[in-house]
Structure 1
Amino acid sequence: MSILLRRWRLPYLALLAVVALLLSASSLEAYRLGGGTRPWEPFLWEFSSVAVIGVLALGLHALVGALRGRPWPRQLAAHALALPAFSLAHIGGMFGLRLLVYGLVGVGYRPDDLPTLLVFEGGKDAVTYISFCLISRGIWMARAAAQGAQELDRARRELAEARLARLADQVQPHFLFNTLNLISSVMYEDVARADRLLCRLADLLRQTLAAQQRVEHTVHEELALVQPFLELMQARFGPERLVVQIDADAAARECRLPALLLLAPVENAVKHDVARHRGRVTVSVRAERVGDRLRLVVSNHGDTAVPEAAPDPDGGLGLRNLRERLQGRYGDAATLAFGPDGGGMTLRVELPCAC
C-alpha cells in the first residue's frame, strides 16, 4: 500500500485538484446567480469537501482490499458500519476546515442545522461511498489480474527453463554412452589406442560439463567441443573412412547459442551415416551469419551412392531433442530442416544471432 501511495501520490493529488476545480467552477456560477459577493467561498466549499473525501477514499480502498475473499454477508455488514462512519467523518472534516478558514479571514459562517446536514450530505455521501467501493474493487481486481499474469509468466519461464535444462541433460549421457561403446570396440584390439581415446574423452567431458553450467555460449566455444569429438571419431574409424571439415566465419563465431546444440547432429552424422557407409564419408560443419540470423549446416556425403542401411528420416533421439530445445528456447524464430542431400543427409538450422 505504501509503495502504491508513493508511486501514485502526485497523480492522485492532481486528480483531486482537477475535480475540485471543476466542481468549484460549477458552484461559482450558481453562487453568483444567488447573489453571492465572495467568489472564493465556492472554492472553499468544494476543495474542503474533495480534500476530506480524498483522504477517506484511501482508507476505503484499504478496507475493500482487506475484505476481498471474505463471505458476502460479512462484507455487507462491514460496509453497513463503514458507510455512516464515512459520512460522519466527511461532514466533520469538511465543516471543520470551513470553520477554520472562515475564522482566519474573520468572516461569519453558519452551516445548516445537524439534521439537515445529515440528510443532505448523508445522501450524497452514500452515492460517493458506493461509487468509490465499485472503483476500488475494480482496481483491486485489475491489480490481482496483473499479479496473476506475472505469476503465470514467471511459472511459464521457470517451466521452460526446467524443460530446457532437462533436454540439455539428455545430450551428455547420450553422447557419453555412444562414445564409450565406440571405444570399447577397439579396447581389445589396441590397448594403447583405447587409452588415448579414453584420455581424450575425459578432456572432452570436462569441457562439456563446463559448457552445461553456462547454459549458452558462442559458436566458437561450441566448435571447440565438436572438433575434439570428431577427432575421437576419426581415431575410431580412421582418417581414410572419416573426413572432417569445419568452417565458420568470424561473425558467426561470435553468435551465442544453447550449449551442446551441435553435438547431437554431429554424432548422428557419424553414428547413423559414417558407420553405415562402406567407403569414405565427409562430415562437414558450417556456420555463417546472414544479417541478424545464424545459419548452421551439418552434412555428410559418402563416396558410395547408397549406404548399407537407410538413415532415420527423423534424425533419431538426438535431433528430436534438438527440435524441442530450439522450440523451447526460440519458438517460431528458429527453423530446422533435415533430409537427404545427394549421397548423404543434411541438417540446416537457422536461429537469431545474439552476441
Structure 2
Amino acid sequence: MSLLPRRWRLPYFAVLGIIGLLLSISALQSYRLSGGTRPWEPFLWEFSSVVVIGTLALGVHALVGRLQGRPWPRQLAAHAIAMPLFSLLHIAGMFGLRFAVYGLAGVGYHPDDLGTVLVYEGGKDAVSYLSFCLISRGVWMAQAAAARTQELDRARRELAEVRLARLADQVQPHFLFNTLNLISSVMYEDVARADRLLCQLADLLRQTLAAQQRSEHTVREELALVQPFLALMQARFGPQRLVVEIQADEAAQACRLPALLLLAPVENAVKHDVARHRGRVTVSVRAERVGERLKLQVSNQGDTPVPESPPDPDGGFGLRNLRERLAARYGDAAHVEFGPSGQGMVLNLELPCAC
C-alpha cells in the first residue's frame, strides 16, 4: 500500500469499484441473454479482473516513476519485460480469485484452454499496460511540475526576504547620516546641547536596531520610534519651528508593517522641508484602518512658501527605498502616492492590514 499515498487510497478504490460495477452490469445483460442462471457470475468475472488490474497498475506507476530520466533504450527494455509479466500476473490473479470463489460456492468452473486465455487476455493486457504507462507518465510529469512550481515559489520567497533584508539594511545608515548632518551644525553653537542630542540619537539607534532584527512590527511600535526621532528634531530646530502631530486609531495601531517603514519619510519631511522653510512647519503622521486596509499619511505644511526649488518629486533615496520594500512585500496590494499639497508635501500609503 506504500505505492499509494494515504489521501488517494479511498478515491482510487472508489474508482475501481465504480468501474467494476459498470462492467458487471453491462456483462450481466449479455449473461442473461445467453441463458445464464447465476447472476453473481458476471460480477465475479469483472471484479476479479478489476481488482487484480488495479493492484498491478500501482506497480506500473512505480516502475514508470523509477525509469524517469533513464535512457530510452533502457526504458523500452524494462517495459518489454514488464508487459508480459503484467499479463501473466493478471491472468494468474484473476483466475485464482475465480477458482477460489467457485470452490467456496460449490460450483464448477471451466474456463477456456490456456492458449486461448493467453491470446485473448494478453491482447487486452497489452492495451491496458500501455494505457497505464501513458497515464502514469502524465501523473509523474504533473507531480514534477508541481514540485518545480513549489521550489520556484520557495526560491522567490527566499529571494524576496533577502531583498527585503537588504532594503531594510539601507534604511538605518541613511537615516543615521542625515540625522548626524542635522545635528552637526549645533556642535559649534552649543556643545552641551549637541551632546544631549547625540545621547538621544544613540538611544534611538538602539531602538531602531532592535526593531530591524524583527523584520516587522505593529504600527504602535513604529510610532514609538517616530516619536523620539521627532522629539530629537524638535530639540534641534526648536518647538517654534517644528510642530509635531501624531494621530492613530486603536485599530490601525494593531496592524503590522515592515519595521522602520515610516522613519525614512518622516526623516525626509524634516530634512527636505523643515530645514528649507523659514517659518514654522507642522509635520503630521496619521494612521487609520479602513476595513482590511491600513492607510498611512506623512505630511508637512509650512506657514510660508518654500523659496528654493521643489524637492525631488520621487521623494529621494528614502522614499525610493520605501517603494521597493512595499513592492517586494505586498506587490500590487500596496499603493504609494507622493506629491505637493498646499505649502508642503504629503505621502499617502495604503497596504493590507495584517494583525
The answer on whether the counterparts of 2:240 and 2:280 sit within 8 Å (CA) in structure 1 is yes
Partner of 1:258: 258
1:278-300, Cα deviation, whole Å (9 max, x unpaired): 22222111222233322211111
Q: Could you tell me whether the CA contact under 8 Å between 1:241 and 1:281 is conserved in 2?
A: yes
Report matched runs for 1:72-87 at 5 Å. Answer: 72-87=72-87
Q: Return the alpha-carbon distance in structure 1 between the equivalents of residues 177 and 256 of structure 2.
A: 27
State whether residues 242 and 274 of structure 2, in contact with CA within 8 Å, keep that contact through their aligned partners in structure 1: yes
What secondary structure, in the 3-state scheme, does the structure 2 residue paired with 1:91 have? helix
Determine the structure 1 residue equivalent to 2:40: 40
User: Which residue number in structure 2 is paired with residue 212 of structure 1?
Assistant: 212
> Alpha-carbon deviation of 1:315?
0.5
Alignment partners' CA distance in 1, 2:3 and 2:333? 38
Equivalent-residue separation in structure 1 for 2:4 and 2:41 (angstroms):
34
Matched residue, 1:59:
59
Structure-2 change in CA distance of 1:290 and 1:6 (3 Å): closer
Matches within 5 A, 1:264-303: 264-303=264-303
Whether the 8 Å CA contact 1:216–1:257 is kept in 2: the answer is yes
Q: Relative to 1, partners in 2 of residues 1:4 and 1:193: Cα closer, same or farther, differing over 3 Å?
A: farther
Equivalence for 1:19: 19
Map residues 75-154 of structure 1 onto 2, 5 A cutoff.
Answer: 75-154=75-154
Distance 1:151 1:246, change over 3 A: same
Q: Is the 8 A contact 1:249 1:288 kept in 2?
A: yes
Cα offset for 1:4?
4.2
Sequence identity (%): 81
Q: Which amino acid aligns with 1:198?
A: L
In the TM superposition, residue 200 of structure 1 has moved relative to its aligned partner by: 1.0
Distance 1:98 1:294 in 2: 70
Cα distance per residue 1:63-95 (max 9 Å; x no partner): 011111112221111111100000011111111
Q: How big is the shift at 1:224? A: 0.7
* Distance in 1 of aligned mates of 2:184 and 2:22: 89
Deviation digits for residues 260-292 of structure 1, max 9, x if unmatched?
A: 110011011011111122222221112222333
Distance in structure 1 (CA, Å) of the matches to 2:262 and 2:29: 79
Whole-Å separation in 2 of the counterparts to 1:8 and 1:99: 31
Question: TM-score by structure 2 length?
Answer: 0.95
| SS of residue in 2 equivalent to 1:336 | strand
Q: Distance in 1 between matches of 2:248 and 2:272?
A: 24
Q: Partners of 2:306 and 2:191 in 1: how far apart?
A: 34
CA displacement at 1:3 relative to structure 2: 8.0
Letter matched to residue 173 of structure 2: P
How far residue 61 of structure 1 moved from its aligned partner, in angstroms, is 0.4
Moved more, 154-163 or 176-185: 176-185
CA distance in 2, matches of 1:86, 1:290: 64
Q: Name the aligned partner's letter for residue 207 of structure 1.
A: Q
> Displacement, 1:255?
2.0
Residue in structure 1 matched with residue 322 of structure 2 by the alignment: 322
Task: Provide the C-alpha distance between the structure 1 equivalents of 2:52 and 2:86, rounded to a whole number of angstroms.
Answer: 10
* One-letter amino acid of the structure 2 residue matched with residue 174 of structure 1: H
1:221 is matched with which residue?
221
Task: Tell me the amino acid that sits aligned with residue 53 of structure 2.
Answer: I
Shift of 1:234: 1.5
Aligned-partner residue type, residue 251 of structure 1: A
By how many angstroms is 1:185 displaced? Answer: 2.7
Letter of the structure 1 residue corresponding to residue 132 of structure 2: F
CA distance in 1 between partners of 2:317 and 2:348 (Å): 17
Cα distance in structure 2, aligned partners of 1:148 and 1:258: 29
Do the aligned partners of residues 324 and 153 (structure 1) sit closer, same or farther apart at CA in structure 2, a change above 3 Å counting?
same
What TM-score, normalized by structure 1, do the two folds share? 0.95
Letter in 2 for 1:77: A
* Counterpart code for 2:349: V
Maintained 8 Å contact 2:57/2:132: yes
- Which is further off, 213-222 or 56-65? 213-222
1:248 matched to which residue of 2? 248
Shift of 1:314: 0.9
Q: Report how many aligned residue pairs link the two structures.
A: 355
- CA–CA distance in structure 2, aligned partners of residues 254 and 168 of structure 1: 21
Q: Please report how far the alpha carbon of residue 352 of structure 1 lies from its aligned counterpart in structure 2 after TM superposition.
A: 2.1
Which amino acid is the alignment partner of residue 247 of structure 1?
Answer: Q
For structure 2, the residue ranges without an aligned partner over 5 or more in a row are: none
Contact 1:276-1:309 at 8 Å conserved across structures: no
- Which structure 1 residue ranges, 5 or more long, are not aligned? none
The alignment's C-alpha RMSD in Å is 1.6
